[in-house]
Amino acid sequence: MTRPPKARLKILQAARRIVESRGAGHLTFEELAVESGVTRGGITYHFPTKEALLKGLIEADLVDWDQSAAEMAGACPCPRTADVIGQIRCNLDTKDEGHKRFVTGMISASMVDPSLLDPVREHHRRKFEHWTWDEAELKRYVLLLATEGLFWQDFFNLDPLKPEIKARVVSLIEQLVQDPGLMSPKSD
């Protein structure tokens, strides 16, 4: 018997809702069966363990993140710079409270099981494996780090900047990443 192709997606969507609303500790196969409408057997067919389910959630979130980054990047003649622009814009897009709750739940779960972050580690390895780490790429990376810092400051409500100052910082980062020196085709 084959499983409906949408079952996996229904399971992941329901699991995400549970993590966002109640945390990863409340994610059980019984709760997931009720929330998703997929039988426990259907769930374990796709995700034999809770660890596999949590890793599946993280992998799906990384795919969503990359798709959002590609959409936010806009047109740029340099593919690597376009990717960095998209990543920066995703880091600075902090309006999604559901995503914040999801990340909180997954951080909590990864404290108990650090291997849950393996998909993130692999994603980062693939993302940067072809970088040449010339001057332009070092600058791109510093700008990514800066926006990740802004993301975590906002995430933990530690941002000391007034909104108008933060807007200037974000504008400066956008200007720097679009500097013609970072769009050199030899870096792509």
Put simply, whether the predicted model's pTM sits higher than 0.85 gets the answer no
- The percentage of residues in the chain with a pLDDT greater than 70, rounded to a whole number, is 93
pLDDT of residue 41: 94
The 8-class DSSP code of residue 142 comes to H
Name all domains of the chain by residue range, CATH numbers in brackets. 1-48 (1.10.10.60), 66-187 (no CATH)
- Distance between CA atoms of residues 176 and 140, nearest Å: 9
CB 123 within 8 A of CB 62: yes
Does residue 106 have a pLDDT over 80? yes
Residue 84, pLDDT > 90, answer no
Tokens of 106: 């997954």
> Does the structure show a pLDDT above 50 at 105?
yes
Q: 60-81: per-residue pLDDT in tens?
A: 999 998 888 888 887 777 787 8
Residue 52 has pLDDT above 90, yes or no: yes
What pLDDT digit, counting tens, does each position of 127-176 carry? 999 999 998 889 989 999 998 999 899 888 898 999 899 889 988 998 89
Rounded Cα–Cα distance for residues 184 and 188 (Å): 7
User: Are residues 146 and 112 in contact, defined by beta-carbon separation less than 8 angstroms?
Assistant: no
Identify whether the C-beta of residue 151 lies closer than 8 Å to the C-beta of residue 99: no
Give the pLDDT of residue 188. 45
pLDDT tens string 17-47: 999 998 888 899 999 999 999 999 999 999 9
| Cα pseudo-dihedral 5, 10, 15, 21, rounded to 10 | 160
